[in-house]
Amino acid sequence: MMKLLKIFFQLSIAILLLSCNQNTSEENKPTVYLVGDSTVKNGRGDGSGGLWGWGDYIGQFLDTSKVEVENHALGGTSSRTFQTKGLWKPVKNSLQKGDYVLIQFGHNDSGPINDDFRARGTIKGTGDESEEIDNMLTGKHETVHSYGWYIRKVIKDAKEKGAIPLVMSPIPRNDWNNGNVPRNKNSYGGWAKKVAEEENVTFIDLNEKMASEMEEIGEKNVTGTFFYERDHTHTSAKGAVLAATLVAEGIQESENSLNSYLLENPQIKLPAKKDVYIIGDSTVASNNDTLVGWGVPIDRYFDTTRVNVYNKARGGRSSRTFRGEGLWQAVLDSLDEGDFLLIQFGHNDGGHIDKPKYRGSLKGMGDETQTVEFSEDSTEVVHTYGWYMKKYIDEAEEKGATPIVLSMIPRNIWHGDKVERNDDSYAKWAKEAVEEAGGYFVDLNDSIASRYEDMGRQKVKEFFPKDHTHTNLEGAELNALVVAKSLNQLKGSGIRDYIFIPKNQSKKGQENKK
C-alpha cells in the first residue's frame, strides 16, 4: 500500500511540474504588436473592397506556435492620432518584456494639423518643435508635435516595458514617374530612419524595398495585381503579401531577435476566391468569332484577383432545356456558399413546346404543366418560364449562393425611335420570379434598350451582323458594360464589392449618342 502511495505521489509531482512548465511556456510566449495606418491593416482586416494591409499577412511568416501576432493598426490614423485617440495606450499597457512592436506611420501625417474633418497632421521632421491648437474636430486644446516626436514616444514607451521596437518606412504609393516609383527618403521614410538610428532600434526601409520590387515588376503588372487602378495607396491581398514578404526580409537581414521566429519556408495563403457563374442563352454565351454574348467580356469588370468568372451560358438553350440537358446540374454541383449566380433566359422560351427543337416553356408564372410525348416512348413535363426561373433561384439559395436574375437583352427591333421591350412578357416574368422566390433583379432589357435609343438606330445596327438577336463583340462589350454598371448599383447583393469599372469606361457609349 505504501509503495502505491509513493508512486501516486511521484506521478502527481510530475504532472504538477509539467503543468507549471506548460504555463510558464505560454506566459513566456512573446507577442508581436503592430501599430500603424490602413496600409498595415485596412478596415477590419477582412479584405473589404479587396484591400488588405501587410500586417494581415506578416503572421504567416512567423512561427505562431512560438510567438503571437496582434495587429492593432487602424486606417486613417497618423503617428499623432493613433496616440491621441487612445489606441496606443492599451497596446502599451499590454506590453511584456520580450514582446515586439512593429511601427509604420506616415501616410496620413501630411494632412492638416487643425481642421474639422480629420485633424491628423503632424509637424514635419523629427525635431522638438510643437504647436498649441484648439482642435476644431475634437474641441480640445492640444499640443501638436513633429512626426519624429510621436515615433520616438512609441519607441521609448515600448523600451520602458522591456519590449523591442522595429520601425518601418511607409510603403510606397502606386505612383509612377517615367517608370520609377517615387521614394520618401526625404520625408517620412527618412525621418523614420533618423529616429530609429537615434534610438538605436531596428529600421526596415520598406519604402525602398517595395519601390524597387515594383519597378522590377513594372507599372503595367503592378497596377491591377498589387494595387487597384482605383486606389494608389492601399494594396490588394497580393500587394499586402509583397509588403509582408519584404518586412520579413528586413527582419531576417537585421540582428533583431525577432528573426529567430521567422519560418524557413512560409506557406502563404491568400483569401479564397468566390465564384461567379453565368447561365443563359446565346446572347450571353461564347458562340463564335462573329456572334458574341455579353458573358464573354464581362470578366474585365470583375476583380479577378478575388473572384473567378465562369460563363456557362449555352447557345440555343431556354430556361427549360438548360435544365433538361443537365447543364444546370453541373453548375449547381459547383456552387458553394458565398458564390454568385447570374441568370438570363427568355430568347428561346417562346419556341415550340412539343416540336423540334423542344425548347419552349409555358408562358407566365403559374404552376400549370404540359406533358410532351416523344417518339421513343419518353415524355417530359414542361413547366412555365416563371416556374423554371424560380427553381434556379431556390436551388442556388439552398447552396448558399446569391442568385441575380437579369431580364433578356432586347432585340434590334424598333418602333419609330423606340426599341421594342418585352416588359409585358419575359422581362415582367423574370422580375416576378425574383419577387416570389427571392434573389435580386436587374432590368437589363430596359437599360440596354435605353442605351440603344441614346445611340440611335444606325449605330446599333452595327452591333447585329447576322440577325436582330445576336451581337458582335462590340455590341457584347457595350452590353457587358451595362451589366457591370447595373450590378454595381445592386445594393445588398454583395456582388458590387467585386465590380470595378475603369474611369475610361464610365462614360463609354456617350460619344455615340445621336
Residue 513 has a pLDDT of 45
Average pLDDT score, the chain: 92
Q: What is the mean pLDDT of residues 485-500?
A: 93
Tell me, yes or no, whether 361 and 416 share the same domain.
Answer: yes
Active site residue 231: yes
**Cis preceding-peptide flag for 357 (omega within 30 of 0):** yes
Per-residue pLDDT at 376 exceeds 90: no
Q: Which of 261, 283, 299 is the last residue of a domain?
A: 261
- CATH assignment of the domain containing 383: 3.40.50.1110
38 is catalytic: yes
Exposure b/e, 406-417, CB count within 10 A at least 16 = b: bbbbbbbebeee
Strands of the sheet containing 202-204, edge to edge, are 68-71, 31-36, 100-104, 164-168, 202-204
- 257 and 293 inside one domain: no
With cut-offs at 50, 70 and 90, classify the pLDDT of residue 7: very low
Binned at pLDDT 50, 70 and 90, residue 48 comes out as confident
Residue 398 inside a domain? The answer is yes
Q: Is residue 7 part of a domain?
A: no
Same domain membership, residue 213 and residue 121:
yes
* H or E segment and range at residue 90: helix 88-94
Residues 242 and 158 in one domain: yes
Q: Residue 430: count other Cβ atoms within 10 Å of its Cβ.
A: 29
Amino acid at 252: Q
- Rounded Cα distance between 12 and 9, Å, is 5
Mean pLDDT of 306-329: 97
Tell me, what's the pLDDT at 1? Answer: 47
**End position of a domain, from candidates 216, 236, 261:** 261
Give the distance, in angstroms, between the CA of residue 213 and the centroid of all CA atoms in the same chain. 23
Confidence band for 377, pLDDT divided at 50, 70 and 90: confident
What is the arithmetic mean of pLDDT over 322-344? 97
End-to-end Cα separation, the chain, in angstroms: 105
Q: What is the mean pLDDT of residues 185-197?
A: 97
- 160 by Cβ neighbours in 10 Å (0-12 / 13-18 / 19+) ranks as exposed
CA dihedral for 246, 248, 253, 255, sign (positive or negative): positive
Domain count of the fold of the chain: 2
452 falls within a domain: yes
Q: Determine the structural domain holding residue 147 and report its residue range.
A: 29-261
Structural contact between residues 170 and 105, judged by C-beta atoms closer than 8 angstroms? yes
Give bridge partners of residue 123 from the DSSP assignment.
Answer: 146
Same domain, 191 and 281: no
Buried b vs exposed e over 307-336: b needs ≥16 C-beta within 10 Å?
A: bebbbbbbbebbbbbbbbeebbeebbeebe
Answer yes or no: do 327 and 383 share one domain. yes
What mean pLDDT do residues 282-295 have?
A: 94
- Concerning whether 493 is annotated as a catalytic residue, the answer is no
Q: What phi-psi label fits residue 47: left (phi over 0), alpha (psi between -120 and 50 degrees) or beta?
A: left
Note the pLDDT of residue 505: 64
pLDDT score of 229: 84
Mean pLDDT, to the nearest integer, of 444-449? Answer: 97
With contact defined as beta carbons under 8 Å apart, do 195 and 126 qualify? yes
Domain finish residue from 236, 261, 286: 261
Domain membership of residue 19 (yes or no) is: no
Q: What is the pLDDT of residues 399-422, one digit of tens each?
A: 999 999 999 999 999 999 999 998
Q: Are residues 298 and 157 in the same domain?
A: no
Stretch 209-228: mean pLDDT: 95
From the candidates 38, 78, 236, 407, give the one annotated as an active-site residue. 38
Confidence at residue 289, expressed as pLDDT on a 0 to 100 scale? 87
**Nearest in space to 138 (alpha carbons), one of 91, 87, 81:** 81
Is residue 6 in some structural domain? no
Choosing from 72, 107, 234, 470, the catalytic residue is 234
Same domain, 281 and 254: no
Q: What is the pLDDT of residue 11?
A: 44
The proportion of the chain whose per-residue pLDDT surpasses 70, expressed as a percent, equals 92
The pLDDT assigned to 329 comes to 98
- The predicted pLDDT at position 57 comes to 98
The reply to whether 222 and 340 lie within a common domain is no
Catalytic one of 94, 110, 212, 231: 231
**Same domain (yes/no): 204, 289:** no
207 and 292 housed in the same domain: no
Residues 111-146: pLDDT tens digits? 999 999 999 999 999 999 999 999 999 999 999 999
Same domain? For 249 and 301 the reply is no
Judged against a pLDDT cut of 60, whether residue 214 lies above it is answered with yes
Residue 143 belongs to a domain: yes
Residue 177 within any structural domain of the chain: yes
SS3 52: strand
Q: How far apart are CA 238 and CA 50, in angstroms?
A: 10
Cβ atoms of residues 172 and 184 within 8 Å: yes
Q: What pLDDT, on the 0 to 100 scale, is given for residue 5? A: 43
Question: Domain for residue 101, yes or no?
Answer: yes
